[in-house]
Amino acid sequence: MTPQLPLALRWPRRQRFEHFHPGDNAVAVEAVRAAAVDPSAPWVFLAGPLGSGRTHLLIAACQAAIDAGRTAQYLPLAGLRGSRAVAIRGMAGSDVLAIDDIDSIAGEDDAEHALFDTFNRYRADGCTLLFSATGAPVSLDIALPDLRSRLGSLTQAVLKPLADAERRGVLREQAAARGIELDDVVLDWLFAHHARDLGTLLDLLDTLDRASLAAQRRVTVPFLRNLLKDD
């Protein structure tokens, strides 16, 4: 792995701080941003359910670090194949390392020890580690006591998913910027028949944009039903 990943090529540009809709999470967002650009800022442990924006913020932090002249890496543990311990130990040489879904290694002895060693190495080198999981360290089934203790000592930021009304507002705003009108009937159907986390909805909006342009049709419930092959 190279110490600096070409984020602009690997992830959508939407996964940046300026494209994150904080809702009640402004304090958490600023803590992550500070850790990304300031080597003296506290490390952050992000906790939140699927769809709360954890991955978005970690990737945004990597890009902010690069923009500030630091090197950065992002490691998604849940999606790795093969030895996660080897992958963790292989992440070295960067100023910022963002490790996503650490709850996925709970109970994996080799991976837990690799993460513990990485924690100590980054601390000794004056670099920055950022973590995310579905819950706070105390709620995870991490077997290694010293690792639990170190994770628990970090700045804890709990992310709350946007309420439905906020997600509807963001989706309507983003659609309007593309020249797409999403009326209440369309949004009602969409929220009843599709995943409701903001990232998935915005990905769907990309698909709607392309499909409606190609078909030269406005977005209606029949159009959505046909596009999503919903019966």
Q: Does the residue 116 lie in any domain?
A: yes
| Same-domain pairing of 183 and 151 | no
What pLDDT score does 109 carry?
A: 96
| Residue 128, pLDDT score | 97
Residue 201's pLDDT is 82
User: Are 122 and 200 found together in one domain?
Assistant: no
Instruction: Give residue 190's pLDDT.
Output: 86
Cα-flanking dihedrals φ and ψ of residue 83, to 5°? Answer: -75, 115
The domain that holds 153 is classified in CATH as: 3.40.50.300
**Shared-domain flag, residues 109 and 192:** no
19 Rama class: left (phi>0) / alpha (psi -120 to 50) / beta: alpha
CA distances in angstroms from 77 to 99, 105, 228, listed in the order given: 7, 7, 30
Q: Is residue 144 a part of any domain in this protein?
A: yes
For CA atoms 110, 112, 117, 122, give the dihedral sign: positive
- Residue 71 is encoded by which pair of tokens? 């090197």
User: Does residue 37 share a domain with residue 11?
Assistant: yes
Give the structural domain span for 201. 164-227
Q: What is the pLDDT of residue 228?
A: 82
Token pair of 164 as six digits: 């439905």
Task: Say if 1 falls within a structural domain.
Answer: no
11 and 59 fall within a common domain? yes
Domain count, the chain: 2
> CA dihedral in degrees (43, 149, 136, 31; nearest 10)?
-10
Give me Rg for the CA atoms of the chain.
Answer: 19
**pLDDT at residue 202 in the model:** 78
Q: Indicate if 145 and 43 belong to the same structural domain.
A: yes
Domain final position from 121, 140, 158: 158
How much is the pLDDT for 12?
A: 56
Whole-number Å distance between alpha carbons of 229 and 183: 20
Same domain, yes or no, for 122 and 178? no
Same-domain status, 89 and 203:
no
Residue 2 lies in a domain: no
Q: What is the DSSP string of 121-175?
A: HHHHHT-EEEEEESS-GGGS----HHHHHHHHTSEEEE--PPPHHHHHHHHHHHH
Residues 151 and 180 in one domain: no
State the pLDDT at residue 205. Answer: 86
Cross-strand pairs, 98: 74, 130
Give residue 136's region: left, alpha or beta (phi > 0; psi -120 to 50). beta
Asked if residue 42 belongs to a domain, the reply is yes
Structure tokens that stand for 1 in this block? 């792995």
Q: Tens-digit pLDDT profile for the chain (231 aa)?
A: 334 444 444 555 678 888 888 888 999 999 999 999 999 999 999 999 888 889 999 999 999 999 999 999 999 999 887 899 999 999 878 999 999 999 999 999 999 999 999 999 999 999 999 999 999 999 999 999 999 999 999 999 999 888 888 888 888 888 888 888 889 999 989 888 887 777 778 778 888 888 888 888 889 998 888 888 744
User: Taking CA 139 as the corner, what is the angle to CA 136 and CA 142, rounded to the nearest 5 degrees?
Assistant: 100
**Are 181 and 148 in a shared domain?**
no
Kindly state whether residues 203 and 95 are assigned to the same domain. no
User: Tell me, what's the pLDDT at 5?
Assistant: 45
Domain boundary pick from 137, 158, 179:
158
Last residue of a domain, one of 158, 174, 191: 158
